[in-house]
Structure 1
Amino acid sequence: MLKLQRILRLLVCAGLVTTSFGCASTRTHESPGEYVDNTVITTKVKAAIFNESSLKTMQISVKTYKDEVQLSGFVDSAESVAKAGEIARRVPGVGSVKNNLLVK
């Protein structure tokens, strides 16, 4: 009976360690919580860019990974590139902005 309890304790401990590491983020993967947070940031940045009348019709794609926002796509002027980057930086939760917008 004592041996069975020790084995059960070992299995429970192993299960707890495995599940806690299963949700941790790594350099190349996000945890589920980080994924949700980044989705919220992406949505907020897209909304902020869309609400800017000078950028509303531009082809701007927004992606977020570990609080870094990446802007890509095409705009009509260098001012639009700068404006989109500025708007993205002002959104709460954005750690940094990688502005890859191109002027067409």
Structure 2
Amino acid sequence: MRYAQYIKSRLLIVAAFVFPALVSINGCKSTATASATATAPGAIVTDDAALAARVKQALAADPGLRSLPMSIATYRGVVQLSGYLDSDVQIQEALAVTGGVAGVHTVSNDLHIRPK
């Protein structure tokens, strides 16, 4: 009798660990992404690395922005510019150039004027 209780308690302990693991594994199942199918016809579907490269290229082509230290981060067409520039004119120019790049949906401005 004692052996049966021992086995029941061990099975209960094992079940207590295995059941949550099995339930959580189901949450790891991959699903098809809707981003490629949700875009409108003719919309430019690009990956973030290519978009960041195009933005960097556009900023480097502008003589007034070429040598300025800016960080560029992209996520699904949203480009975030961050860093410290010398004037508000430079910030507005950087935002305008970035917004003109194909594939950019939104520009997030985290640029600041450098303290003097």
- TM-score range for the pair, normalised by the shorter chain length: 0.5 to 0.7
Letter in 1 for 2:90: S
Structure with the larger helix share: 1
- The alignment of Structure 1 onto Structure 2 pairs a total of residues equal to 77
TM-score by length of 1: 0.67
- Give 1:25 shift: 6.6
Stretches of structure 1 that go unaligned for 5 or more consecutive residues are 1-17, 27-33
Percent identity over the alignment is 29
TM-score by length of 2: 0.61
Moved over 3 A (4+): none
**What is the DSSP-based 3-state SS (H/G/I as helix, E as strand, rest coil) of the residue aligned with 2:90?**
helix
Stretches of structure 2 that go unaligned for 5 or more consecutive residues are 1-28, 36-44
Question: Counterparts of 1:18-29 in structure 2 under 5 Å?
Answer: 18=29, 21=31, 24=33
User: 2:94, 2:75 → 1: CA distance?
Assistant: 18
Correspondence for 1:62: 72
Whose Rg is larger?
2
Q: CA RMSD in A?
A: 2.0
1:75 to 61, 78, 85: 85
